[in-house]
Structure 1
């Protein structure tokens, strides 16, 4: 069963609790707080159930920090309640896995790998004389281990891309992507808070042709 939580009706924390209580038919004694939300999600709802948070971004911008806390509770419930699933922005208009991979591959190959190759060229070139190459050459001549510099280059590129994607996640930038099929898709159609983490944890290892360092693979 699919149930819609309409973000157009959610402008305050009180609105959120009222709407989610109504659509999920929580009991009258629902406490209008996140602890009560967790209790009802894990003990009251009847699964299988798909909760579609329609126009999620509208309500998120109104709810501020509370939105992050509510989302955390909902995602934890999704992990712990068999048959309970959440969809954001009524995902009929959201990115498909194929479209996410299209964007990820373009980002990694044409931004990440291109930046690393450009920096490597400056690092290893002996016959280029641009101002930046000269500046690098002067500083690097005192470093014995160029592998350290190569590692720092990759880490700095990854760090920059991560924070750019995090700004998109947090709607600092409103950016769209044209898929291979010619469809223009807003990044708000991605599930909340996903693309920065997806880049660091998956995309760079999956699509990059340059070096990547995974500090957590042995954990």
Structure 2
């Protein structure tokens, strides 16, 4: 994200059917580096060190579809994002799951 935080990023997750697709989409939209490991440990490392801070607001469109397709992964991702806000209050982001 360079040094300036983008204010709002919208990520359409409505057509994501696999965990791999989700990680590739997150990598693209959140500008993770090429070496991003495409797993939840790598996601945590990316948001807390590689690309931090995240945009001020991230809107996930089609969240209910993603929850149906990937219930375990959506829980893990929400937990990572909640922990991000708790652990890094000066970088706090708003996450909307639409």
TM-score by length of 1: 0.38
CA change 1:55–1:39 in 2 (3 A) is: same
Aligned twin of 1:7: 13
Larger Rg: 1
3-state SS in 2 of match to 1:27: coil
Structure with the higher fraction of residues in strand conformation: 2
Separation of aligned partners in 1, 2:20 and 2:55: 27
Separation of aligned partners in 1, 2:41 and 2:71: 18
TM-score by length of 2: 0.80
Structure with the higher fraction of residues in helix conformation: 1
Residue deviations 1:63-116, cap 9 Å, x none?
Answer: 122221122112111222323221110xxxxxxxxxxxxxxxxxxxxxxxxxxx
Matches within 5 A, 1:196-211: none
1:70 aligns with 2:96: no
Separation of aligned partners in 1, 2:52 and 2:84: 11
3-state SS in 2 of match to 1:8: coil
Runs of 5+ unmatched residues, structure 1: 90-219
Aligned twin of 1:84: 93
Structure with larger RCO (C-alpha < 8 A, sep 6+): 2
CA change 1:74–1:83 in 2 (3 A) is: closer
Once the 2 structures are TM-superposed, how far is the Cα of residue 57 of structure 1 from its aligned partner? 0.5
Aligned twin of 1:141: none
Matches within 5 A, 1:139-218: none
3-state SS in 1 of match to 2:21: helix
Aligned twin of 2:4: none
RMSD over aligned Cα atoms: 1.5
Runs of 5+ unmatched residues, structure 2: 1-6
Q: In 1, are the aligned partners of 2:47 and 2:53 still within 8 Å (CA)? A: no
Aligned twin of 1:37: 43
3-state SS in 1 of match to 2:14: helix
Aligned twin of 1:21: 27
